[in-house]
């Protein structure tokens, strides 16, 4: 049964799932949903995901949304390596702890900064209000500080212990959004910088492959800012 | 091994875990952390949870935060009924799908409305700005609409299918926050109203027991609004 994976590589959990399935040598069919063209608003896609968001999987007719729920399902179906999502109850709990924390603890703030600084201005043609943007940036920096101090600098090599897991992959993909928006977390946070490199290397060459498009967006934004 | 459960019954995931453990007849020790007295900022509590938040469990020295991660751990340790968190891969995926969606889809908006309308004014003595409050209220109503249309009115009796699960318990406890802040979702959403009653009955008498304090806060706020 081939899995259909509906993604847009501009979306961070889409990239994480794409990298995960590539790394796991899982047989899957990539279905691109071009968010910038509004493809997620089509009736065809709404029939697949009533929330009109990516990523989504279709596993022989079983349609599932929410990246974290998808990762856990793939693990139960033995489609990803156990090391990346351990079966041991306590080890799995440490991964889950981060996966649940990151929604509001990290993802919300990184995604909102990207949206206010890059996405909304691209769509509307209107530059963001400086005070508003600064508020979003400060909340994101505060989230990054918590991530650095309480998850990366707590004495283990990776987020959920000394072994790399899906928690690291999800977080690494998330941090690419502020980087693409002109704020590189690796410049300000030492722990993040070395940990991030280790995650990229582990998932090489798929990590870089999944980030080609967002890196192009980042370059374009940098050039535009210089004009 | 007795579980220590650190909670404040003003916190919605605290109430959900308390009800779940009571319903499961699980042997646990309730450890109250009085958020209104700032007990979560004590060094003693910071040593238990570096994030200084409730709920937390201590299971024979294994300390775990994040309510959803805790529920999954309790399930793996056979401490809660399988029916409430199914082991079947696809059934569990449907529960997980909601548990992951609710963080930003529902919880964020209900919690922020409660905070801006009730919590912050109680602490600062300053009434909320009407425009700001209205913005939070509108975003919450929009989240409630999505919850009603895409989770409750999609043809199943409960959130993740025709059987009640932890997804329903978590959502029901969440909705008590806007209700306590003077916006009762049951007044505006038909599906929510009947579903909510069913959840309360299922977890009776623990549901009501866990909501005594927040109901008192709601009454006090109602009286204060009339003065």
DSSP state of A51: T
ipTM: 0.96
Average pLDDT of every residue of chain A: 95
Closest by CA position to B149, among listed A5, A58, A52, A73:
A52
Class of residue B75 by CB neighbours under 10 A (exposed 0-12, middle 13-18, buried 19+): buried
In chain A, the percentage of residues whose pLDDT exceeds 90 is 86
* pLDDT above 90 for B144: yes
> What pLDDT does A225 receive?
64
Contact A124, A117 (CB under 8 A): no
Q: Residue B61 phi/psi, 5° resolution?
A: 95, -15
Q: Using CB atoms, which residue from B65, B69, B97 is nearest to A66?
A: B97
Q: State the DSSP string of B38-55.
A: TGGGSHHHHHH-TT--S-
Query: B103 CB near a chain A CB, below 8 Å?
Result: yes
Pairwise CB contact (< 8 Å): B67 & A100:
yes
Does residue B148 surpass a pLDDT of 80? yes
* Cβ of residue A101 closer than 8 Å to a chain B Cβ: yes
> Is residue A73 within 8 angstroms of chain B, CB to CB?
yes
* Average of per-residue pLDDT across B118-144: 94
Domains identified in chain B and CATH numbers:
3-80 (3.40.30.10), 89-226 (1.20.1050.10)
d(CA B159, CA B95): 8
Strand A28-32, strand A62-65: pairing: unpaired
- Cβ within 8 Å, pair A66-B150: no
Check B68 against A154: CB less than 8 A apart. Answer: no
Is residue B5 within 8 Å of B55, Cβ to Cβ?
yes
DSSP 3-state percent helix, strand, coil across chain B (nearest 5): 65, 10, 25
Distance CA B63, CA B101 (A): 25
Q: Inter-chain contact A93–B51, Cβ cutoff 8 Å?
A: no
Rounded to a whole number of angstroms, the distance from the CA of B199 to the nearest CA of chain A is: 23
Range A110-131 average pLDDT: 92
The answer to whether A101 touches B66, Cβ cutoff 8 Å, is: yes
Identify the closest residue of chain B to A62 by CA–CA distance.
Answer: B90
User: Predicted confidence band at B20 (pLDDT cuts at 50, 70, 90)?
Assistant: very high
* Structure tokens that stand for A201 in this block: 């290397």
H/E stretch holding B89 = helix B89-102
| Across A10-14, A220-224, B53-57, B198-202, least confident range | A220-224
User: Quick one: closest CA in A to B61, which residue?
Assistant: A90
Q: Which residues of A touch B161 (CB under 8 A)?
A: none
| Residue A137 tokens, joined | 């940036």
> What pLDDT score does B226 carry?
65
What is the predicted pLDDT for the residue at A83? 98
Q: Is A157 on the interface with B (CB under 8 A)?
A: no
pLDDT tens across B82-109, in order? Answer: 999 999 999 999 999 999 999 999 999 9
Q: Among all residues of chain B, which has the CA nearest to that of A112?
A: B104
Q: How much is the average pLDDT of B27-33?
A: 96
Pick from B66, B89, B103: CB nearest A76? B89
Residues B93, B146: Cα–Cα separation, whole Å: 20
**Mean pLDDT calculated for residue range A118-136:** 92
pLDDT exceeds 70 at position A227: no
Q: What is the pLDDT of residue A36?
A: 84
pLDDT attached to residue A183? 94
Residue carrying the six token digits 């509590």: B45
Is the Cβ pair A96, B66 closer than 8 Å?
yes
Per-residue pLDDT band at A164 (split at 50, 70, 90):
very high
Least confident span in A154-163, A196-205, A217-226: A217-226
Residue B52, pLDDT above cutoff 80: yes
User: How confident is the model at residue A113, as a pLDDT?
Assistant: 97
**Cα B130 from chain centre:** 26
Confidence of residue A210 (pLDDT cuts 50, 70, 90): very high
- Which chain A residues are within 8 Å of B77, Cβ to Cβ? 89
Chosen from A55, A57, A63, A66 to mutate, greatest number of chain B CBs within 10 A:
A66
Q: Do A93 and B64 touch (CB under 8 A)?
A: yes
Strand partners, A29: A4
Measure in Å the smallest separation between the Cα of B106 and chain A Cα atoms: 12
pLDDT digits (tens, 9 = 90+) for B167-196: 999 999 999 999 999 999 999 999 999 999
Cβ-defined contact of A69 to B150 (cutoff 8 Å): no
- The partner residue sitting opposite A66, judged by closest CB among B77, B92, B101, is B101
With residues binned 3-state (H G I as helix, E B as strand, rest as coil), the percentages for chain A, rounded to 5, are: 65, 10, 25
Low-confidence winner among A19-23, A120-124, B158-162 (lowest mean pLDDT) = A120-124
Nearest-by-Cβ selection for A100 from B68, B77, B90: B68
Side-chain half-sphere of B77: how many Cα atoms within 13 Å? 21
Q: What is the average per-residue pLDDT within A184-191?
A: 95
Instruction: Please state the rounded mean pLDDT for residues B12-25.
Output: 98
pLDDT higher than 70, residue A182: yes
């Amino acid at each position: 049964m081939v899995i259909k994976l509906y993604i847009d590589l501009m979306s961070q959990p889409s990239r994480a799932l794409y990298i995960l399935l590539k790394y796991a040598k899982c047989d899957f069919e990539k279905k691109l949903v071009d968010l910038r063209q509004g493809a997620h608003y089509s009736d065809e896609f709404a029939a697949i995901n009533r929330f009109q968001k990516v990523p989504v999987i279709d596993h022989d007719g079983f349609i599932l949304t929410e990246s974290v729920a998808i990762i856990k399902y793939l693990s139960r179906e033995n489609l990803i390596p156990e090391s990346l999502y351990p079966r041991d109850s306590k080890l799995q709990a440490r991964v889950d702890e981060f996966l649940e924390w990151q929604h509001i603890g990290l993802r919300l703030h990184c995604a909102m900064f990207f949206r206010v600084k890059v996405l909304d201005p691209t769509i509307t043609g209107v530059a963001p209000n400086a005070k508003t943007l600064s508020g979003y940036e400060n909340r994101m920096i505060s989230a990054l500080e918590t991530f650095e101090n309480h998850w990366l600098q707590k004495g283990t090599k990776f987020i959920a212990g000394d072994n790399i897991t899906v928690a690291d992959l999800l977080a690494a993909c998330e941090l690419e959004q502020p980087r693409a928006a002109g704020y590189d977390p690796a410049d300000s946070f030492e722990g993040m910088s070395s940990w991030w490199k280790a995650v990229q290397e582990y998932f090489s060459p798929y990590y870089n492959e999944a980030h080609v498009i967002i890196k192009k967006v980042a370059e374009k934004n940098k050039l535009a800012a210089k004009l």
